[in-house]
Every structure is written in C-alpha cells, then in structure tokens.
Amino acid sequence: MKSSLNKVVRIAALLGLVASAYPVAAHHATTMFDHAKVVTINGVVKEVHWTNPHVGIYVDVAGKDGAEAALWVIEMTSPGNLVRAGGWTRNSVKPGDKVEISMAPLRDGKKGGALKKVTIADSGKVLTADIRAQERANLEQEAPAK
Amino acid sequence: MNMKRTLTVVLAVVGLAASVSFAQTKPAEKPVVNPAPTAKDWADIGKLPDWSGVWNPNITDQDKQHVTNPPPWNAKAAARIQFQQAELKAGRPTPLFVNCLPEGHPSWMMISHNALEFLITPGRVTMLGESDGGRLRRVYTDGRGHPPDPDPTFHGHSIGKWEGNVLVIDTIAVLPQVYIAPSEAHGIPNGGDMHTQERIWVEKDVMHVYMKITAPHVLTKPYETTRYYFRQRARKFDIVEGVCSEGYFAPRLDKDGFHVFVPQPHDVGGNRIPPK
C-alpha cells in the first residue's frame, strides 16, 4: 500500500513533540495522528468541507504499481483560523485541483491525517495551517502613512 | 333535587369565599425592569477601556501552563487526569469537546484556540466567541447581584464591575457537567458549586484574563491562572460564524436537486472517517 503513495512514509525529525504543538483541531487533541511521521500524497481534490470546527479535504489518490486507488481525508483547523494564520480562503483549494499534501497520518492506518502542508500543482502555491503564527498583536496592520 | 340545590349552594359559597380570598391577596410585586439606556449611559461607555477588535489566544502559553500550572486537583480528579494523560500518550486523546456542546466556563477562557470579541453596552459586557455556536457570555455590569437560585448554564451567571481599567467578574451557576479543562484532552467536570472570579485588563494590546476558580468538589484549593489574548484589527481577523455541528454533516444535493446536509460519519476522536 505504501507504494501507492508517490512518496513513502518517512520518520521526520519531529519525535518528541507533543500533540498540543500541532494546529489541527480546535476542539480536540491530536494524538490520534502520528506526529512522528509524515505521509505525502499526490492526488486530485474531490471535495473541500469548509466547516467548523475543522476543515476537511477529500483527495483521490490514483492506484499505482498494483495498489488500489483510495480516497483520503485530511483534517485541519477551523475556517477562521485558516484565514488568519494560513492565508487561506474557502477557494484556496478547490475540487479538481491537483495537489501534493503532507500530513501526520492517523495512527490506525486509515487513509486520513492532519495537514501539514498542501502544494497546488498548477500554481505552485503552498499553504500551511499553523495557528500559532497568530501569537502577537496587531498582525498585518499597515504602518501609518507618513 | 334537594341534593342538587344543596350542591349549588355549596358551590356558590365556595366561589364567594374564593373571590374574597383573591381580593385580599397581596398585590404582585412590581416587576424589576431593565431601564432603557440614556444618552449619558452611552456617553459613559466612551470612558471605559477600548476593548474593540478581535482577540486571539496565546495557545503556546496554554500548552505551557498545562505543564507548569496545573489545577490543584483532589485525589479523585487527579486520578482521572492521570488516566487521560496515559490515553493521550497512547494516541487516544479523551474526546472532551467533540460533541459540539460549548466548552463552557472557565474552559473557554483557558484553552480556546479561537478568537473572541467584546461588546460593551450600558450595563453589560457581552463576550462572543468563535467556533461553537453557543460560545457567548453575558456579564451584567448594571449593579445587580446574582439571582438567589439561577438556572445552571454552560457559562453560568456573571455580574461585573469596572475598577478603573479592570473588569471584575463574578460567576456562579455553571452546570456541574462543564469541564475545568487545562487542555483539550484533559478535563474534569466541575461538579457544581463552582465560583469563579476574574479580572480582565489590557496592556499594550494584550488582554490579561486572571481567573480564580473555586470548585470544592474537584479542587483542593482555588486555582489561579492568567490567560492571554492578542488584539487584532486587520479586517481578515473579523470573527465569522462558526457552527460546530456543521462539521458533522456534508453538503449534498437531494433527489430533487435541493441543497441539503447529510450526516458525515466521524470517529470517536472527532475526525471524519476516511472512506474505505
């Protein structure tokens, strides 16, 4: 099954980090995702659920090298947090987009994970979801005109 | 016939007595009303601190305090927290808030990952939060006290007063099921009889929310903590509607082409279940 992925699971230099250090969920801790691993998939976006408390992206990953095709679900934080911290809009990722997504995979082996980064193939745009990037006052305020 | 006449007389007497009794009943007390604000009341709002803007939490500090400043749990609660910690480490975080009920007070102020805002009007401060639809606190600053027997709610009954630039809030009547949660995977139902005292102020666009939480059924002594929020004025930070339960549905078209929501299966941890 691993061969169905364009990039295989690899152990990242993230061992030891606690779940709370990840920005995925507004309403629950995230240790159901294995933050010591990174899975990268390439596929085509099927649906985007731009909803609270967590946005979800469904991605069709084609079968390859004899492996079955699969539909993956990638979870992330809330729409409001994505807009503020990640520069997202609800149309940043659209059905039909070819994407590369890296994620912390579900520990139970199901085809899901917590998003770390998405790259949109056509535009090359990269989006993340680090809500801790908001942790200072007066972000993005323009300097007063002189 | 005689019996019927007798019954009629008895009923008449009873009715007369009842009407006399009613007439002698003490008149109902005049209802307490909330007076319409005056122009001066509105003008006085301008003298209060400026808490406009959107305030997002210092989540890194929340994480830090989970380790460095845990609540003083009693033995029973501490055992539960220890179990939750083991579950967290095992990749099974306790799903405290995945049912979309409000996080409630004081957990909202302690561990929210979402922004909040304040509406200051005559006699009241209203706190509005993002993400779950019920995230709202009403703090009455009109001088009233707590009702003698308020209905318990997720955020309790709050009264407040301004001491200079500090809003002092006193809250009781929080539902016993509402968690005191130092993290999204650690929390103990407060058990009832909880009382919180807060002092909220702003320094250099950082809001300080000091809380003293007294919960005799689960804490050995009052828990004191200060949480921090950052002011944002960039319009992209404006709070948007957030209905938590929407995430439990998927948008679809029904057989007639109408837009509808259909249930979306989730696992116990609150995540959408990947299709097989």
Taking the C-alpha atoms of residue B74 and residue B81, their distance in angstroms, rounded to an integer, is 10
User: Which positions in chain B touch A18 (Cβ < 8 Å)?
Assistant: 63
Interface size, chain A vs chain B, as Cβ–Cβ contacts under 8 Å? 161
- Nearest Cα neighbor of A6 from A128, A96, A99, A93 is A99
Q: Mind listing the pLDDT tens digit for each residue in A86-102?
A: 789 999 999 999 999 99
pLDDT at B23: 52
Rounded to two decimals, the ipTM of the complex is 0.77
A28 closest CB neighbour out of B93, B114, B236: B93
Same domain, B251 and B143: no
| Domain region containing B184 | 54-237
* CATH number, domain with residue A45: 2.40.50.140
* Domain-embedded: residue B2: no
Same domain, B190 and B67: yes
B250 closest CB neighbour out of A19, A49, A106: A49
B/e letters for B29-39, b = 16+ CB within 10 Å, e = fewer, are: eeeeeeeeeee
Choose the mutation target among A33, A34, A51 for the interface with B, i.e. most B CBs under 10 Å. A51
Q: pLDDT in tens for each of the 146 residues of chain A? A: 444 444 433 333 333 333 333 333 446 677 788 988 999 999 999 999 999 889 999 999 998 877 789 999 999 999 988 988 878 999 999 999 999 999 999 988 899 999 999 999 999 999 998 888 889 999 877 554 44
Q: Which residue of B has its CA nearest to A69?
A: B276
B98 to chain A, closest Cα gap in Å = 6
Q: Mind listing the pLDDT tens digit for each residue in B121-144?
A: 999 999 999 876 678 999 999 999
Same domain, B257 and B213: no
Taking the C-alpha atoms of residue B98 and residue A29, their distance in angstroms, rounded to an integer, is 10
Choose the mutation target among A28, A55, A59, A110 for the interface with B, i.e. most B CBs under 10 Å. A28
* Domain-embedded: residue B276: yes
A29 closest CB neighbour out of B184, B233, B240: B184
pLDDT at B10: 55
Contact B251 A72 (CB under 8 A): no
* Domain-embedded: residue A142: no
State how many domains chain A has: 1
| Domain region containing A66 | 2-131
Q: State the CB neighbour count (10 A cutoff) for residue A99.
A: 21
pLDDT at A86: 79
- Nearest Cα neighbor of A18 from B148, B157, B67 is B67
Same domain, B258 and B226: no
pTM for this one? 0.83
**Interfacial B residues in 180-209 facing A (CB < 8 Å):** 183-185, 204-206
* Domain-embedded: residue A88: yes
Same domain, B212 and B247: no
Residues of chain B with pLDDT under 70: 1-25, 132-133, 275-276
pLDDT at A17: 33
User: Which positions in chain A touch B239 (Cβ < 8 Å)?
Assistant: 80
Taking the Cβ of residue B221 and every Cβ of chain A, the question of whether any pair is shorter than 8 Å is answered with: no
List, as one string, the DSSP characters of B96-135. SSTT-----TTHHHHH--S-EEEEEETTEEEEEESSSTT-
> Would you give the distance in Å from CA B110 to the centre of its chain?
12
Same domain, B74 and B197: yes
State how many domains chain B has: 2
